[in-house]
């Protein structure tokens, strides 16, 4: 069974704090993704990575950065958290050549006060 | 620009009824169309997927119908059960371009009432 683990289920931070969201997958997948999920807006892609040390911007990268130092780990960084970044964050991974099947973690609900 | 439009936003169906969720896309290069199911407190999980070389794919009570000329596809849930209550997302991808990205619809919250 593919397992995508997000380090925190719930997180409360203050405006201006630097926030790290961690994601680890155990299936040696090449591709990893970060989405945010908001009611009525669906899943929006923030950043993705096809390989270690590689990153590409998704649809809404502003205010975020990512890090992928190891194949199994993909971190999302909020350099200076703002209230409009309060959201559910979902990490996903997929193997190359598998028809774009993405496996999701359970999500981190981030509240920025 | 929303490339995959999903409707309705919410749906209430009686147990045993048919649930139908529709999606329309704009990018004719899309060649992979999955549906994801998300239960409260969980991440989305792949439910069923189709490629445009077939017009229909059925897995148990779940069927995808695909209309390439209209650029539309839909999910039909037959004999809907309370356990099907979840949020459903359609998505699309251009695998021919070597892309692994999925473009998601905004989701449909399905409630199946006993």
Tell me the chain A residues in contact with residue B44 when contact means C-beta distances shorter than 8 Å: 43, 90, 104
Total count of residues recorded for chain B = 114
3-class DSSP string for B34-92: EEEEECCCCCCEEEEEECCCCCEEEECCEEEEEECCCCEEEEEECCCCHHHCEEEEEEE
Q: Can you say how many angstroms the Cα of residue A67 is from the centroid of all Cα atoms in its chain?
A: 10
- Judging contacts by C-beta atoms under 8 Å, the chain A residues touching residue B97 are none
pLDDT digits (tens, 9 = 90+) for A44-58: 999 999 989 889 999
- Tell me if A45 and B101 make a contact (CB, 8 A cut-off): yes
Per-residue pLDDT band for B2 (boundaries 50, 70, 90) equals low
Contact B100 A43 (CB under 8 A): no
For the segment B28-45, the average pLDDT, to the nearest whole number, is 94
pLDDT at position B47, please?
A: 96
* pLDDT at residue number A98: 61
Spatial CA neighbour of A110 closest among A13, A5, A6, A4: A13
Contact A90 B104 (CB under 8 A): no
pLDDT the model gives residue A99: 58
Asked if the C-beta of B107 comes within 8 angstroms of chain A's C-beta atoms, the answer is yes
Q: Residue-wise over B38-68: b if at least 16 C-beta within 10 A, else e?
A: beeeebbebbbbbeeeeeebeeeebbbbbee
Which is higher by pLDDT, B101 or A76? Answer: A76
Predicted pLDDT of residue A31: 92
pLDDT in tens, B8-36: 999 999 999 999 999 999 999 899 999 99
Question: A1-12, pLDDT tens digit by residue?
Answer: 769 999 899 999
Residues of chain B found within 8 Å of residue A102, distances taken between Cβ atoms: 46, 102
Q: Which of A60, A61, A108 is nearest to A87 (CA)?
A: A108
8 A C-beta contact, residue A98 and residue A2: no
Q: Given this model, what pLDDT does residue A113 score?
A: 96
DSSP β-bridge partners for residue B14 = B113
What pLDDT, on a 0 to 100 scale, did the predictor assign at position B99? Answer: 72
- B6 CB neighbours in chain A (<8 A) are 42
Residues from chain A contacting residue B94 (CB–CB below 8 Å): none
Q: What pLDDT sits at residue B87?
A: 97
Whether residues B34 and A50 touch (CB distance < 8 A) is answered with: no
pLDDT, averaged across chain A: 93
Using the Cβ of B3 and the Cβ atoms of chain A, whether some distance falls under 8 Å is answered with no
Tens of pLDDT, residues B63-102: 999 999 999 999 999 999 999 999 999 999 987 777 778 9
Min Cα separation B11/chain A (Å):
14
> Strands, DSSP E only, in chain A?
4-6, 10-13, 19-25, 31-38, 42-49, 56-57, 65-70, 73-78, 87-94, 103-104, 108-112
Question: Chain B 55-84, CB below 8 Å of chain A: which residues?
Answer: none
- Judge contact between A45 and A51, C-beta under 8 A: no
Provide the sign of the torsion angle of the four alpha carbons B96, A102, A44, B5, taken in this order.
positive
Please tell me the predicted confidence (pLDDT) of residue A53: 87
């Amino acid at each position: 069974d593919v397992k995508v683990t997000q380090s925190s289920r719930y997180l409360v931070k203050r405006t201006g704090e630097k926030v790290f969201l961690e994601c680890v997958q155990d299936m040696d997948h090449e591709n990893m993704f970060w989405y945010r999920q908001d009611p009525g807006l669906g899943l929006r892609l923030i950043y993705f990575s096809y390989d270690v040390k590689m990153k590409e911007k998704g649809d809404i990268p502003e205010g975020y950065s990512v890090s992928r130092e190891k194949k199994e780990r993909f971190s999302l960084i909020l350099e200076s958290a703002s209230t409009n970044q309060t959201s559910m964050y979902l990490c996903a991974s997929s193997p190359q050549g598998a028809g774009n099947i993405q496996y999701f973690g359970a999500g981190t609900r981030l509240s920025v006060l | 620009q929303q490339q995959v439009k999903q409707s309705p936003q919410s749906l209430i169906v009686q147990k045993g009824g048919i649930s139908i969720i529709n999606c329309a896309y704009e990018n004719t290069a899309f060649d992979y169309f999955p549906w994801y199911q998300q239960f409260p407190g969980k991440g989305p999980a792949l439910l069923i997927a189709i490629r445009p070389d077939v017009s229909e794919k059925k897995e148990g009570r779940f069927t995808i119908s695909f209309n390439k000329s209209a650029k539309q596809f839909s999910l039909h849930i037959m004999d809907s059960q309370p356990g099907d209550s979840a949020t459903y997302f359609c998505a699309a991808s251009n695998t021919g371009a070597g892309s692994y990205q999925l473009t998601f619809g905004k989701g449909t919250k399905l409630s199946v009432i006993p």
